[in-house]
Amino acid sequence: MLRLRFVVLLAACVVAAMASHKCSRYCQTPTNALVCCDPPPPPRCPDPAPCYDFFDGNFPYCYHDDQCPPGQKCCTDGCSQRKICVPV
């Protein structure tokens, strides 16, 4: 009876851990372990926003991420408060 309680408690802990992670899709590894297969979250803009040097012309203005080159994100500049493409 004690062994059954332990197994139920262990199963409840595993389910709670999986639920707190909020993973929408799990995959099985070659060792039969379950891992989260969700894509990584998108990168975020730096906080606090750094102040970039606009005089070198390396930071194009933008309104959304699609206007930035690959590997960059549309973020607010800390000095001018304009939206610019910055590497993430």
Residue with structure tokens 């979250």?
A: 41
Beta strands in the chain (DSSP E): 26-28, 34-36, 72-76, 83-87
Higher pLDDT, 65 or 1: 65
Amino acid identity for residue 23 in this structure: C
Name the phi and psi angles at 35, rounded to 5: -130, 155
The answer, yes or no, to whether residue 37 has pLDDT greater than 50, is yes
The answer, yes or no, to whether residue 11 has pLDDT greater than 60, is no
Which sequence spans correspond to the domains of the chain? 2-36, 54-87
Give the pLDDT score at 65.
Answer: 92
Distance CA 66, CA 43 (A): 14
Q: Are 73 and 60 in contact (CB under 8 A)?
A: no
The answer, yes or no, to whether residue 3 has pLDDT greater than 70, is no
The answer, yes or no, to whether residue 50 has pLDDT greater than 80, is yes
Percent of the chain having pLDDT more than 90? Answer: 14
Distance CA 84, CA 18 (A): 38
Give the pLDDT score at 6.
Answer: 43
Which tokens is 6 given?
């332990």
The answer, yes or no, to whether residue 18 has pLDDT greater than 50, is no
Average pLDDT, the chain: 76
